[in-house]
Amino acid sequence: MSPTPQRIVCVAGARPNYMKIKPVLDALEARGAETVLVHTGQHYDPAMNEVFFQDLGLRPPDHFLGVGSGSHATQTARVMTAFEPLLDTVAPDAVVVVGDVNSTLACALVTAKAGPLLAHVEAGLRSRDWSMPEEVNRVATDRLSDYLLAPSPDAADNLRAEGYRDDQIHVVGNVMIDTLFANRERAAASDILARLGHEPGTYGLVTLHRPANVDDPEVLAGLLKALGEIAAHCPLVLPVHPRAAGKLTALGVPGGIRLVPPAGYLDFVALQAGARIVLTDSGGVQEETTALGVPCVTLRDNTERPITVEEGTNVLAGRDPDRVTATALRVLADPPPPRRPELWDGRAGERIARVILEGGTAAGRPRPTDAPPGRADRPEWPDHEDRPPRQVRDR
């Protein structure tokens, strides 16, 4: 008699999660696992939701929690109260959470208290900026997890420095790149450039959505000034994130910057692949441009993906308008050579499935609090004594 397949709950809540969970679902199912896809509804706008499921070939979720928007506390609480009874009913062997959004932390908390094994995809990423809500979510989720699935060696180094056990840490590669590679040919067939009247290599692409960049009118105005100066050398296309649309309209957008509706996954990959330069505050875009070999300028003071700077095409510019302009013009004149980190090879999902399905059950596995002899019973937390005051923002 064959053994009963393991039942694995996979959680997605926001747009970046969809690209991350698809290769994990596929690989688990290919190895015979029973998978249950839970969509928390943290992103609910059709432009941020249904179109991505369609583009990725991601099946409809088995359960939709419909939590919607709200403050960090409200949104996290809604996910927890909706996920807890579902987890009790489904009774999985393990739960997989991805990334660093509020849904990630909320489902991790419920899982840790309920008892199934917890796997965190993209574990160990650190910006060391405690004012970022995502950093809080990352650190706390890692602390609760049985399997820390790191995308790159630097993330694993962060986890070891914080005191996690070696048997928890697995360098598996980058699931975002799995999805990118699986869809390259379909994205290449997109007509988005023709619709916008651009040829490959003749435009720059911009994304802005981080609260630190779009919620402060002074910061956003400075970035728009810099983008206007860059646009004088290279016209820019800016797909408008819903949380930034009204703020951009209120401030006014300089000439040379074309606002367009949010793009689906395939169209957005095509826009990235054809761009002469990408300017972004998105972590996922830093990774995708590195895999595509496209020059990227990150409009942030830090990045939790330093490997894209060290081994990729990403340059960290900060948010000072003069520095952003100077950095972008330098990259336009002398683009970095294409480089791709090791294990960003399209097989991260397979490695993740192997770790989860061969790791045993919760009853027989050491849990996150079980430290080996001579090691502290919890990891050292990053030093944030000088951190700025936290701000509650709508994600």
Report, as residue numbers or ranges, the catalytic residues.
209
Of the candidates 40, 122, 38, the one whose C-alpha atom is nearest the C-alpha of residue 76 is 40
Residue 12, Ramachandran bin (φ over 0: left; ψ between -120 and 50: alpha; else beta): beta
Q: For residues 260 and 33, what is the distance between their CA atoms, to the nearest angstrom?
A: 41
**Rounded to whole angstroms, what are the CA distances from 302 to 123, 151, 308, 383?**
18, 18, 12, 16
Q: ∠ at Cα 39 (36, 42), nearest 5°?
A: 160
Q: Which token pair is 196?
A: 């916008």
Alpha-carbon distances of 321 from 113, 275, 285, 286, 332, rounded to whole Å? 46, 21, 21, 20, 16
CA pair distance 298, 336, nearest whole angstrom: 14
Are 103 and 79 within 8 A, CB to CB?
Answer: yes
CB-CB neighbours of 361 under 10 Å? 11
Cβ 387 vs Cβ 67: under 8 Å: no
| Alpha-carbon distances, residue 82 vs 40, 110, 369 (angstroms) | 8, 10, 26
